[in-house]
Structure 1
Amino acid sequence: MPAHEATPPRALITAAAADLLQKLQARHGPLMFHQSGGCCDGSSPMCYPDGDFIVGDRDVLLAVLDVGEPGVPVWISGPQFDAWKHTQVVIDVVPGRGGGFSVEAPEGMRFLTRGRAFTDDENRALAADPPVTGADYASGARPPAAGSHIVGDAIDACPIPDVPGP
């Protein structure tokens, strides 16, 4: 079995966030996320019209979310990926206004990153299947298809320890 078949997705999106993303795609066309590294926007996933944010050679493509066509890439800076590579990013949405220039701001909603630490087995599988960088992407590399990235609720991907599930 190829390594990518056993690797968990590095990024997921909740159904509520995917619904908002589809509404935004109808208005703005193809979109992308860049996971902010702090400063003004905290650590929010920033959503931009695809191409409005210039992806650097060292940026890392976490996933291409299966929302709309051609999908929504989720990028993170290389140095931030090094710190977060053991974490599955889950993009959710909550009421409120986030900072910055993310396209959902006028909707009265904001995208939010939640996370789950990968298991030891998942980390081993991910280490054997390195992610696509901005330089790789510019050269034509694309990640393998990974099935759906949509989860019902954040707790489905990020269970709270010692709390029984639904």
Structure 2
Amino acid sequence: MDDTHEGVPRVEVTGAAAGLLRRLSAAHGPLMFHQSGGCCDGSAPMCYPAGEFRTGASDVLLAELAVEGVGEPVPFWMSRSQFEVWSHTRLIVDVVPGRGSGFSLEAPEGVRFLIRSRLLGT
């Protein structure tokens, strides 16, 4: 796995997202992200207990996020078809007020993860 592009991380988290990951990790144990690329919330990163979402050949592991205060790295997976569209971007996991999908661990918190992006090389 090459989780950088010319030394720039492909995926990173904001301070707000790191704080939420610490709380979720304390409550649920090891975590993982998956971003599917489907409609509606499909373009939002979904946070699950590690291993709760089955990944396969149609998924790409973009990064293992080391978040201070979270015991294990948080793998960030994306569907291969979505990665083809986002392959030239650096993904920034952030958190904002609002309700996302009921399947993602942060939903009961009244917030949701979202992706901000920057073109690689800028």
Alignment of 1:13-162 (within 5 A): 13-67=13-67, 68-119=70-121
Evaluate the alpha carbon distance shift between residue 5 and residue 97 of structure 1 in structure 2; reply closer, same or farther with a 3 A threshold: closer
Unaligned runs of 5+ in 1: 121-166
> Which 4+ runs in 1 deviate beyond 6 A?
none
**CA drift at 1:76:** 0.3
**Structure 1 CA distance for aligned equivalents of residues 17 and 28 of structure 2:** 16
**CA drift at 1:7:** 2.5
Q: Deviations over 1:33-79 (max 9, x none)?
A: 00131224141100000000001123111111112121100000111
Unaligned runs of 5+ in 2: none
Q: Greater share of helix residues, 1 or 2?
A: 1
What percent identity do the matched residue pairs reach? 60
**CA drift at 1:91:** 0.3
**Structure 2 CA distance for aligned equivalents of residues 5 and 58 of structure 1:** 21
- Scaled by the length of structure 1, the TM-score of the pair is 0.66
Larger Rg: 1
**Structure 2 CA distance for aligned equivalents of residues 6 and 83 of structure 1:** 19
Segment of structure 1 superposing worse, 5-14 or 64-73: 5-14
**CA drift at 1:6:** 4.1
**Structure 2 CA distance for aligned equivalents of residues 20 and 99 of structure 1:** 16
**Structure 1 CA distance for aligned equivalents of residues 107 and 49 of structure 2:** 13
**Structure 2 CA distance for aligned equivalents of residues 86 and 75 of structure 1:** 16
> What value does the CA root-mean-square deviation take over the aligned residues?
1.7
**SS, match of residue 8 in structure 2:** coil
Q: Greater share of strand residues, 1 or 2?
A: 2
